[in-house]
A and B are shown apart, each in its own frame.
Chain A
Amino acid sequence: MNPSAPAAAAKPRARKPPAPQEPARQIVVVDCGTSSVRAFIAEIRGAQQRILEDIHYPVNLTPTFTEAKLDRGAMDGLLHAFAGIEAVAKSYGARFLRAVATSVLREASNSDVMVEQIRSRLGLELEIIESAEESRLYFAALRQLVAKAKRRLSGNMLLIDVGGGSTSIGLIRGGKLVHSVDEHYGTARLCESFRDFTDSTDFCITIDRYSHGAVSMMLGRLPSTRVNHIIVTGSDVRRLHALLAPEAKGPIEPLDAGKVESWFARMRDLMPMARAKACNSDAQHASLLLPAASFIRHLCAQTGIDVVQVPQLTLRDGLMADLLPGAHGPHSLDSSHLTAEAEHLLRRYGGNSEYARNTAALALQIYDQTAELHHLGDRVRALLEFSALTHDIGSYLNVRNRHKHSMYIIQSADIAGLSSAEKIMVAHIARYHRRSPPQPHHQAFQSMPRRNRVIVAHCAAILRIAYALDVERTQRIRAVRCEVSRGQLLLHVDRRQIALEQWAVARKSEMFGEVFGLKVSVVPRSEE
């Protein structure tokens, strides 16, 4: 209770009369982290969202970081937590809309077993999301929060989530999340990793040195950009903020880097009990503040930023933001965001951007003009564009087998806004832009769900045509008009001399013929 809150007269609930076409739905979103499983039980009607309950259920999954798998206690704890949340949800007739787990389950080798147990016992689908999706969710939540708070954060921003098991940094440019990276730097993970030093001053120093390295590495993986704001989230960051700026109660509040610096210096020489006392906490929770503080301090030092912003938001807020009308939903960032991610990869691996952009443009022209044939939507279009932009980055390693290298690089890269399944798809679209089409012995391709295989096949078939249209890599053909006629796809181009392109398309269109059932011909301008 906030004793300073004014005792204003409580008004009876004033809720607008319901819109008959939009009945209220009761839903549950869950976020499974390292130290707690948290849920919102909410009621939504259109753009109106009402949090009925905010549930925190403590679990301890920290040993997973050293054991690389969930032990029995952790699994029981998770099941118990989910069962508890389900019981509360039941009292509202709420249905589970989305339950996500982050780094700790990403890393646990037996997380599939856990997911299956939750599915079989409770009927819930627990989705293990990539860090890029975490970044996207935090960004979605941040946008909501900033809009509600009537704040404006202009310029380039780093959106950082310091979690229990990992930390992600998202780069926001022009109001869009354009890149994200993550690292196995988490408050609980570090305290667990360095627990042997807990009772010595080495504890703080070791965390601080590790933090220095982690920040350097993560910033180094981001495109070089001048940063105007740093926004830091995470439960330990919020606790640190509450400790250092207890008067700050707003939805997004500044935290002075100098304060963090001096607090960390004070903590450095303290033993756990003294630190706990100073933090008005228990020893364990006090320790968790150290990696959070150290990360902020190095971040500020390396970016030259004096003040970070700490918003009161959680991953669940991002899950809720996805439910707003007009939101694109899980894993969705607009295509310009994915384009920016692809451009970043292109630059990083020395790609020919003119060539890549033209190939992507041609692929999208064909995609758009054959929509009646494939009926694939905007999201797949964005995936195709990403693949088209990055299909050649494997040349950085070796021109031979570059299509396979492209696939490997894409799969290994930090890409904000793609789910793990989507990342596999774009990697395969890029992989099949040349040489062999998918074969029965291609295990990685065959292990994808059927629907995803179909999408990859369609997109790869289109990409192969676009690739063939610029085999010379001169961007000589920049536009194409598609016409379906007598079992053929006619590609009208504005050039007369196109023998090379016709030759190349003839060699690359076999897959298109198999997927779309059409032969492909390139029609020069003079034949029109």
Chain B
Amino acid sequence: MDRRKTAIDPTVAQRYFNRESSWLAFNRRVLEEAQDEHKPLLERARFLAIVSSNLDEFVMVRLAELRALAKGQAVSVERATAEQAANDLSGTQKLMRSLVGDQYRCWREQLVPAFAQQGYAIVAPDAWRQEDRDTLRRLYHDQLEPMLTPLAVDPTRPFPLVANKGVNVAVQLETASGARRNALVSVPSANRVISLAAESGRFALVEDVVANFLDSLFPGYRIVNRCLFRVIRDGELDIDEEQTANLLSEIEQELQARQHGHVVRLEIDTRAEPTLRGWLLTSMEIDDADAFDIDGPLDLTFLFGYADKVNRPDLRDQQFPSVVYPTVWDNAFARIRQGEILLHHPYQSFQPVVDLVAQAAADPQVMAIKQTLYRVSGDSPIVRSLIQAARAGKQVTVLIELKARFDEATNIKWARRLEEAGAHVIYGLMRLKVHAKLLMIIRREDDGICRYVHIGTGNYNDKTARLYTDLSYMTCNEAVGRDVAALFNMLTGYSQPPEWERLAVAPLTLRKTFTQWIRREAEHAKAGRAGRIIAKFNALVDEQLCEELYAASAAGVEIDLIVRGMCILRPGVPGLSERIRVRSLVGRFLEHHRIYFFGNGGVPGQSIVAISSADWMTRNLDRRVECLVRIENADLQLRLMRLLEIYLEDNAHARVLLPDGAYRRLHPRAGEEALSSLEMLLHEAVAASGAGKKSDHTGMIFRPKSKHG
């Protein structure tokens, strides 16, 4: 950890980093992965696409909110004044420009040549050969033109609605008499990458095809200028939950309305003719500060599809078999009763979780299944099992969070299908989003009722479970079952919250629990005992917890935080946070699990190890229903502690956050062995899947270090 001295005054606003800047710094770390020449080419392209996708979401949510604050259209407890918000907005836009500039520089100067070297190219229109033109013209007339609707704009036809995130062509038309008018054409969003000739390695983008051949849409006009542009709109839904009788239909309506949200950002081809550019800005009431001139293809998320089209496994990360554990899972219930299970995805397969729900649906002894769903896949096998269970007459209760941002439509679809099957569906709670990942199966067995519980750090989404690192904890522990049952009762509105034995639940007790645990470490440190906190999560933006951590640091607690994304805490500042170290890991998988370790005085068996759905964000602690479960099984505790150690030992992918807000990538020092957490975990997972190296009953793939066992 770099402990260079800084001139930071810990008593003023510099106690925290700006959260938007911190978010953009995270996206820059993703960009650095794309810039890393040691990475396989298609993975670099994927990282570049992720940068674009992340930015879109950032603009739709954070920037839109900041903009509303700056304009006095909204208030926030985090920013005292509109002026402060305006300053933050200005700074954020500056950082965004820099990031986007670097992103496209990476595309033009690094990835395009690298793809060319491998024989692949996105061919710009001016480089199309005659045969390309012929092929594309045919494609345009046969397949694209029927889908296009030219939208003329004149005094009688106002500026039309431009879909959020779609690519469009703006054209300036001229009649034979010299009169000019403007028009728009939306480009179909599916299949943006078109192969120019089989096996040629040459591709074109669909927006280039439309822009080049759309003259036929405007007979009698000459196209004077044309340019590609794209808009991003405010993505927040405006739902008055107090007044809404039917949340589902209200959200459906709001999803439509989201298409009309304020334009927060305009991306426009850098070659756009100035009057056409000006017309777009004026018509959509966009400040120049919100317009981004793009030197390259708009919306680089097309690179996800491009990587698929290239289809070169040698240009990707080496595939590894996700360990299916437990290997024998034909009776999940018997297996869980043998001992608690902890799965580490995607190193270990998510399939056991899918199977657990499927087996519950088919098992005549299962009486009820209760589950929360936040983001599920489009074709979710878990939801299909729940539907099957409801049809079989089991009592199925599903809390499906309709307000899960950008997944509302999918969730509405599933909510309807579950209801039709006879499940009891709850759409979420008033003013709270249910983010906890819980599954409970009630089964009547020979010796009575047994409750099987799954608590996850990630969504019940079999697709993202292949890309996100998450944990699945499965148990039939009585106390956990009682707590989860009580939580479901609370969620379904049947019961007041009780006291919790093994869970801490936001917004009721989670903040208090974290605070108590941090303070207890401080007390240990003050008393001369070891104070220790290690936490891994996605974001730290809660000032209250930051203050607790600063106080703990001052008291002598050693604190290591592994924060993938935003982190407003300023580490390593003498007198403020000198014992706090923050590192971030960005790599092949999206680091998503939330693991919390509190040493509790260093007494063996007394430390607290917990997993959770919650980050250290104000929204997680105060505005969402989140769940933390304390892991008490000694084997599983050790395994989680080892996992944290691996992340702390990483000197290959990790970056450390410096007191000035910069992230410095770690490299092995001279004579030091390179330790990549990813490779260590992959290696262990592969080894565990090999013959003769089956995991033991606790599902451990890591051997605890001797220090702990």
Contact = CB atoms under 8 A, between A and B. Distances in A.
Interface stretch (A85-93, A177-185, A485-493, A497-505): A85-93
A55 to B, nearest CB: 5
B337 A13 contact: yes
B504 A1 contact: yes
B338 interface: yes
B494 A7 contact: no
B513 A1 contact: yes
A10 interface: yes
- Which of B367, B424, B606 neighbours the largest number of chain A CB atoms within 10 Å of its CB? B367
Interface in B419-463: 424, 442, 444, 446-451
B477 interface: yes
A84 B424 contact: no
B269 to A, nearest CB: 55
Given A3-B517, A26-B449, A56 B632 contact: no
A348 interface: no
A54 interface: yes
B494 A91 contact: no
B493 interface: yes
Contacts of B158: none
B494 A9 contact: no
Given A9-B633, A88-B489, A50 B448 contact: yes
B513 A92 contact: no
A16 B446 CA distance: 11
A227 interface: no
A117 interface: no
B498 A24 contact: no
Interface string B621-636: 0000000101011100
B246 to A, nearest CB: 19
Contacts of B448: 15, 18, 24, 26, 43, 45, 50
A85 B494 contact: yes
B495 A24 contact: no
Given A12-B340, A55-B494, A7 B600 contact: yes
Contact of A87 (B424, B475, B498, B504): B424
B486 A91 contact: no
Contacts of B370: 91
B212 interface: no
A57 B634 CA distance: 36
B395 A1 contact: no
Contacts of B492: 84, 87
A7 B517 CA distance: 13
B609 interface: yes
B476 A13 contact: yes
A7 B628 CA distance: 14
A273 interface: no
- Which of A1, A54, A88 neighbours the largest number of chain B CB atoms within 10 Å of its CB? A1
A377 interface: no
A26 B367 CA distance: 12
B503 interface: yes
A7 B608 contact: yes
Nearest to A45: B448
B337 A12 contact: yes
Contacts of B509: 1
A30 to B, nearest CB: 13
- Which of A18, A24, A92 neighbours the largest number of chain B CB atoms within 10 Å of its CB? A92
Interface in A1-32: 1-10, 12-13, 15-18, 24, 26
A191 to B, nearest CB: 19
Nearest to B394: A91
Given A1-B509, A9-B632, A10-B633, A55 B449 contact: no
Interface in B474-509: 475-478, 482, 485-486, 489, 492-496, 498-504, 509
A53 interface: yes
Given A1-B501, A1-B504, A87-B424, A9 B495 contact: no
B485 A10 contact: no
Contact of B482 (A53, A81, A90): A53
Contact of A52 (B337, B485, B496, B503): B485
A9 B605 contact: yes
Nearest to B517: A3
A10 to B, nearest CB: 4
- Which of B395, B450, B494 neighbours the largest number of chain A CB atoms within 10 Å of its CB? B494
B368 interface: yes
A36 interface: yes
Interface in B381-397: 395, 397
Contact of A43 (B446, B449, B499, B600): B449
B607 interface: yes
A58 interface: yes
A87 B486 CA distance: 13
B326 to A, nearest CB: 15
A91 B368 contact: yes
B101 interface: no
Interface string A31-73: 0000010000001010000111111111000000000000000
A90 B396 CA distance: 11
A209 B156 CA distance: 80
A461 B72 CA distance: 88
Contact of A91 (B442, B608, B634): B442
Interface residues of A, number: 39
Contact of B338 (A12, A26, A36, A91): A12
B529 interface: no
B222 interface: no
B83 to A, nearest CB: 33
Contacts of A58: 496
B637 interface: yes
Nearest to A56: B496
B334 to A, nearest CB: 12
Nearest to B440: A91
A17 B449 contact: no
Interface in B508-547: 509, 513, 516-517, 520
Interface in A357-396: none
Contacts of B450: 13
A254 to B, nearest CB: 21
B632 A10 contact: yes
B449 A92 contact: yes
B500 A1 contact: yes
A58 B498 CA distance: 12
Nearest to B369: A91
A22 B129 CA distance: 85
Given A1-B509, A9-B632, A53-B486, A84 B495 contact: yes
Contacts of B502: 1
Contacts of A57: 494-496
Contacts of A8: 605, 632
B609 A7 contact: yes
B367 A13 contact: no
A58 B490 CA distance: 11
Contacts of A4: 520
B496 A93 contact: no
A3 B513 contact: yes
B630 A1 contact: yes
A54 B501 contact: no
B477 A7 contact: no
B201 interface: no
Closest 9 CB pairs of A and B: A91-B368, A84-B494, A24-B448, A10-B632, A9-B634, A56-B496, A1-B504, A18-B447, A3-B516
20 contacts: A1-B509, A1-B513, A7-B637, A10-B340, A10-B632, A10-B633, A12-B476, A24-B449, A26-B448, A26-B449, A43-B449, A50-B448, A52-B451, A53-B485, A53-B489, A54-B482, A58-B496, A90-B395, A91-B370, A92-B442
Given A9-B632, A84-B493, 13 more contacts: A1-B509, A1-B630, A7-B600, A7-B606, A8-B605, A9-B637, A24-B448, A24-B449, A26-B444, A52-B482, A57-B496, A90-B368, A91-B397
Interface of A: 1-10, 12-13, 15-18, 24, 26, 36, 43, 45, 50-58, 81, 84-85, 87-88, 90-93
